[in-house]
Structure 1
Amino acid sequence: MPTAFKTLIVDDERLARNELKRLLRAHPQCEIVAEAASAAEALAILAEQQIDLVFLDIQMPEVTGIELANDIPASTRFVFVTAFNSYALDAFSLNAIDYLLKPVAPERLAKTIARLPVADTDESPPTETEQQSNLHVLPEHHGILLKFGDINRIVRLQEIYRFESIGNHAAVYTAYGKSYLHSSLARIEQKLDPAYFFKTSRADIIRLDAIEHIEAGISDGGLVAVLNDGKQIDVSRRQAQQLKQRFGSF
């Protein structure tokens, strides 16, 4: 990474861009090199300049920040900024560093900046294969914006112990309670590291270290995984043998 992150601010409101620029003055590692009032302007800048970091408003006319994020180069990091605290985001198709709520608090911005990788001029840029791999499996510290009642909370993957399929949605179980994602279980599975998560059936994905013990299931060959919270999760016969192998002796 460069010694400073060449930063682009994207927001259709000029006052919002100015406020974020003011707050970023306290963080010299972010060098603001451009700003855009629309997704079209942002894409033009990204095509012409090397941008390392984008602060991206979600609610913009014509093309939203979420839609724009899909066209941001894989090597460019980005942070979502939104004024809507009730906004629900399916973060599994994205890889944002963080999500900031307007008005952005200086201490909250500082925490976001702290998540940026340490600059290293000797670091080689990621290869195409590495970029594709990073897009496929999300790291354990990846944050997802989830809503719990009236509170929006950024929950790390390492804090989630179960995903349950509910139609075209998925229930997400965390220590903070239960929330929901607008995503299918199959899509979620593609983004999870199999070293930490295991699909027990078409209905559930559980975190391996959340399993307290395993019991024989009612169906022939099936199992029941009992989680730390006491919840019993059925393991299909097809998946039962694989789960046994995961906990087998070495």
Structure 2
Amino acid sequence: MPSKFKTLIVDDERLARNELKRLLQAHPECEVVAEASSAAEARAIMAKQTIDLVFLDIHMPEVTGIELANDIPANIRFVFVTAFNSYALDAFSLNAVDYLLKPVVPERLAKTIGRLPVPDNNHKHTDQQEHQLTNNFLPEHHGILLKFGDINRIVRLHEIYRFECIGNHAAVYSAYGKSFIHSSLARIEQKLDPAFFFKTSRADIVRLDAIEHIEAGISAGSMLAVLRDGQQIEVSRRQTQQLRQLFSGI
């Protein structure tokens, strides 16, 4: 990573840009090098100069921040900043660092900055990161914006212990509770690293380190994976042998 994050602020309101720029003065690791009032301006800036971090308003005319986020290169991190708290995103196509509500509170902004990697000119990928990048799997720190009641929360992949197929949606289970995303289990499976997640059946994917123990299932040859929170997930006969091998020792 660079010694400082070259930062772009994207918001169609000038006062909002100025306020965020003022708040970022308390964080010298974020150097504001450009501002944009629209997605078109932001795209032009990112095409012409080096940008490491984008603070991105969601509700903008013509092209929304969500649409723009899909076009942001993978090496650029971004944070959603919005006055609206009702957005439920299928963030498997995104990788937001965080989701801030306006007016931005300094203490909340500090937590967001704390989620960023430590700037380091000599930064190198770990073996785990190289594995994930090579295989196009989402990294463990990938954030998914999930809605829990009236709260929108960024939940990291390492905090999720189960995905369950519910029609054309998927239920997502984490320590924060149960939420939903509009995505098929097949699509989710393509993004998850099998070193951490296991598809127990056509209806479920579970995190391997969330499995507390395995016991015999109801049908012959099947098994139940019992999770730390007590959930019992049926393992299909087809997947039973593979799961046994994963836990067969060293």
Gaps of at least 5 residues in structure 2 are: none
In the alignment, the residues of structure 2 paired with residue 153 and residue 59 of structure 1 have an alpha-carbon distance, to the nearest angstrom, of 18
In the alignment, the residues of structure 1 paired with residue 50 and residue 199 of structure 2 have an alpha-carbon distance, to the nearest angstrom, of 39
Deviations 1:13-58 (A, max 9, x none): 1121111111111111111111111111111111111111111111
Task: Give the conservation status (yes or no) of the 8 Å contact 1:222–1:240.
Answer: yes
Task: Give the conservation status (yes or no) of the 8 Å contact 1:211–1:227.
Answer: yes
Task: Give the conservation status (yes or no) of the 8 Å contact 2:5–2:29.
Answer: yes
Give the SS at the match of 1:234.
strand
Query: AA paired with 1:103?
Result: P
User: Any residues of structure 2 matched to 1:150-229 within 5 Å, and which?
Assistant: 150-229=150-229
Deviation at 1:123, TM superposition (A): 4.0
Task: Give the conservation status (yes or no) of the 8 Å contact 1:75–1:131.
Answer: no
Deviation at 1:132, TM superposition (A): 8.4
User: Any residues of structure 2 matched to 1:225-244 within 5 Å, and which?
Assistant: 225-244=225-244
- Which position in structure 1 is the counterpart of 2:115? 115
Taking only aligned residues, the RMSD between alpha carbons, in angstroms, comes to 2.3
Task: Give the conservation status (yes or no) of the 8 Å contact 1:51–1:76.
Answer: yes
Deviations 1:106-159 (A, max 9, x none): 11111111122222223479xxx9698279322333332221112222222222
Query: AA paired with 1:48?
Result: K
Task: Give the conservation status (yes or no) of the 8 Å contact 2:132–2:139.
Answer: no
Which region of structure 1 is more displaced relative to structure 2, 214-223 or 92-101? 214-223
User: Any residues of structure 2 matched to 1:12-51 within 5 Å, and which?
Assistant: 12-51=12-51
Change (3 A) 1:134 1:147: farther
**TM-score for both structures, normalised by structure 2:** 0.91
In the alignment, the residues of structure 2 paired with residue 141 and residue 123 of structure 1 have an alpha-carbon distance, to the nearest angstrom, of 17
Which region of structure 1 is more displaced relative to structure 2, 187-196 or 82-91? 187-196
In the alignment, the residues of structure 2 paired with residue 12 and residue 131 of structure 1 have an alpha-carbon distance, to the nearest angstrom, of 39
After TM superposition, the runs of 4+ consecutive aligned structure 1 residues lying more than 6 A away are none
Deviation at 1:193, TM superposition (A): 2.3
Give the SS at the match of 2:16.
helix
Give the SS at the match of 2:173.
strand
Query: AA paired with 1:29?
Result: E
Change (3 A) 1:217 1:174: same
Deviations 1:200-228 (A, max 9, x none): 11111111122222122233432211222
In the alignment, the residues of structure 2 paired with residue 18 and residue 182 of structure 1 have an alpha-carbon distance, to the nearest angstrom, of 35
In the alignment, the residues of structure 2 paired with residue 176 and residue 245 of structure 1 have an alpha-carbon distance, to the nearest angstrom, of 31
Which region of structure 1 is more displaced relative to structure 2, 149-158 or 59-68? 149-158
Task: Give the conservation status (yes or no) of the 8 Å contact 1:88–1:147.
Answer: yes
Which region of structure 1 is more displaced relative to structure 2, 130-139 or 77-86? 130-139
- Which position in structure 2 is the counterpart of 1:11? 11
Give the SS at the match of 1:136.
coil
Q: How many equivalent pairs are there?
A: 248
Change (3 A) 1:73 1:225: same
Deviations 1:152-196 (A, max 9, x none): 222222222111111111111122221111211122222222222
- Which position in structure 2 is the counterpart of 1:54? 54
Task: Give the conservation status (yes or no) of the 8 Å contact 1:2–1:121.
Answer: yes
Change (3 A) 1:192 1:63: same
